[in-house]
């Protein structure tokens, strides 16, 4: 009995030493990239379980956000419509008339099928090709400045605009739409300070119908990379992130609040 008690006493002393050592040991905090990856995995798990991981923008309090920065998606977020097809159709008609618009209409089912079966990026590539291949860059710019703004303005989501406009420090828009199409409206009408979108490949002043190879179509992690580049100058992060689909989760994870 005495030997058993002595053995237990020795074990208790060892446990106290281990606990004391652990209490003084420094465990480094997880790196920012690891934290974002963990957050992203939890968001995808919640979405797969049928739980919406982010609250509706209507529940976001816009008061007192004058010193905040915001990052937002375009289609389905700042705009009510989730489909960019009408705007590609306008550009197609303005740059190539009925023949180009007919080509876009013929390829639209393929874009829809690819968006469902393959990826959002594949669908965007089809729309970009049909709407811009062979068009003069100046013609696309003219359509973006003279035609698209009034159609974009009629489709602005009031709830998203309420939050976006309240954040006065910095407003950033990330979109899969070609930047050349969306930037004039976003800067001049919505007051965006920076716009990151899909970049068109050009040759001798004309669009080739392809997207720029360096960044590709701006969806998913590419939006997160673009946002990091915009805010990397001072190490800042957006206070508010606005998005409407899973492919927006990577950049929304970088924001402090994502309604």
**All structural domains of the chain with their residue ranges:** 56-252
Taking the C-alpha atoms of residue 202 and residue 192, their distance in angstroms, rounded to an integer, is: 25
Residue pair 95/143 in contact by the 8 Å Cβ criterion: yes
Q: How many helices (H) and strands (E) does the chain have?
A: 10, 6
Count the alpha carbons within 13 Å of 114 in the hemisphere toward its beta carbon.
Answer: 14
How far is residue 143's CA from residue 179's CA, in Å, rounded to a whole number? 13
**What pairing do the DSSP bridges indicate for beta strands 200-203 and 206-211?**
antiparallel
Contact indicator for 173, 99 with CB cutoff of 8 Å = no
H/E element, 241: strand 240-242
- pLDDT string in tens for the chain (259-residue length): 455 565 556 655 654 554 444 344 433 434 555 656 666 666 656 555 556 678 889 888 899 999 999 999 999 999 999 999 999 999 999 999 999 999 999 999 999 999 999 999 999 999 999 999 999 999 999 999 999 999 999 999 999 999 999 999 999 999 999 999 999 999 999 999 999 999 999 999 999 999 998 889 999 999 999 999 998 766 789 999 999 999 999 999 889 877 6
Q: Which residues of 183-193 are buried (b: 16+ CB within 10 A; e: fewer)?
A: bbbbeeebebe
pLDDT at 23: 41
In whole angstroms, give the CA distance from residue 165 to residue 152.
Answer: 16
Q: What is the DSSP string of 138-172?
A: HHHHHHHHHTHHHHHHTTB-HHHHHHHHH--SEEE
pLDDT at residue 241 in the model: 95
What pLDDT shows up at residue 84?
97
Q: Which two tokens stand for residue 238?
A: 């957006």
The answer to whether domain 56-252 has CATH 3.40.50.1000 is yes
Angle, in degrees to the nearest 10, between helices 120-132 and 85-117: 140
Residue 256's pLDDT is what?
86
Q: How many CA atoms lie within 13 A of 25 on its CB side?
A: 7
Distance in angstroms (rounded) separating the CA atoms of residues 15 and 5: 15
């Amino acid at each position: 009995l005495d030997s058993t008690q002595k053995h237990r006493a020795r074990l208790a002393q060892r446990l106290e030493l281990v606990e004391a050592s652990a209490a003084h040991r420094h465990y480094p905090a997880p790196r920012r990239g690891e934290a974002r990856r963990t957050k992203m995995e939890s968001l995808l798990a919640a979405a797969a379980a049928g739980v919406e991981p982010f609250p509706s923008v209507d529940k976001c309090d816009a008061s007192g956000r004058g010193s905040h920065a915001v990052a937002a998606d375009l289609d389905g977020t700042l705009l009510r419509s989730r489909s960019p097809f009408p705007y590609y159709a306008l550009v197609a008609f303005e740059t190539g008339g009925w023949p180009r618009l007919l080509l876009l209409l013929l390829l639209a089912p393929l874009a829809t099928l690819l968006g469902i079966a393959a990826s959002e990026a594949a669908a965007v590539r089809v729309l970009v090709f049909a709407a811009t291949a062979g068009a003069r860059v100046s013609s696309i710019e003219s359509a973006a400045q003279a035609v698209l703004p009034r159609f974009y303005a009629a489709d602005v989501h009031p709830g998203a605009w309420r939050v976006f406009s309240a954040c006065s420090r910095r407003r950033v828009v990330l979109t899969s739409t070609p930047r050349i199409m969306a930037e004039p409206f976003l800067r001049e009408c919505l007051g965006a300070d920076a716009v990151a979108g899909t970049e068109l490949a050009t040759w001798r002043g004309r669009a080739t119908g392809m997207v720029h190879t360096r960044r590709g179509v701006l969806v998913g992690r590419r939006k997160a990379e673009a946002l990091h580049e915009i805010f990397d100058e001072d190490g800042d992060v957006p206070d508010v992130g606005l998005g409407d689909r899973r492919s927006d989760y990577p950049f929304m994870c970088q924001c402090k609040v994502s309604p």
